[in-house]
Amino acid sequence: MRAGSKSSGKSRKPSTLRRTLRRAAMPAAVLAVMAFFGAYAVLGPNGALAYGDYKRQLAKREREYAVLDHKREVLRNRVALLDPDHANPDMVDEMVRKELNVSHPDEVIVPLK
pLDDT band, residue 10 (cuts 50/70/90): low
Q: How far apart are CA 111 and CA 113, in angstroms?
A: 7
Burial label for 4, CB within 10 Å (0-12, 13-18, 19+), is: exposed
DSSP 8-state symbol, 50: G
3-state secondary structure of 57: helix
The predicted-structure confidence for 82-96, as pLDDT tens digits, reads as follows: 787 887 887 787 778
Q: Which amino acid is at 101?
A: N
Type of residue at 104: H
pLDDT, tens digit, 9 for 90 and up, residues 39-80:
998 888 888 888 888 899 999 999 999 999 999 999 998 888
pLDDT at 100 over 90: no
Neighbours of 81 (CB within 10 A): 19
pTM of the model: 0.46
Q: What is the pLDDT of residue 6?
A: 55
